[in-house]
């Protein structure tokens, strides 16, 4: 009986770990997307500032 309880507990712990890893991966992807968007907008602003006005 003790082994069944320990096994169920370990399974529960590993499920929690898996969920935390999944959330951390999603957070990292979101941070990467945000960073890429900031870089893109900065590059666009810089290229607009460096272009002579169109007549």
pLDDT digits (tens, 9 = 90+) for 11-48: 999 999 999 999 999 999 999 999 999 999 999 999 88
Measured CA distances, 31 to 34, 39, 45, 54 (Å): 5, 12, 21, 36
* CB neighbourhood size of 30 (10 A): 10
pLDDT score at 48: 85
What pTM, to 2 d.p., does this model score? 0.60
pLDDT reading at 51 higher than 80: no
pLDDT of residue 1: 56
Dump the DSSP string for 24-48.
HHHHHHHHHHHHHHHHHHHHHHHHH
> What pLDDT sits at residue 32?
96
């Amino acid at each position: 009986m003790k082994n069944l309880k320990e096994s169920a507990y370990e399974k529960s712990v590993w499920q929690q770990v898996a969920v935390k890893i999944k959330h951390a991966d999603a957070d990292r992807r979101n941070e990467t997307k945000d960073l890429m968007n900031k870089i893109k907008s900065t590059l666009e602003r810089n290229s607009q500032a460096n272009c002579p006005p169109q007549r």
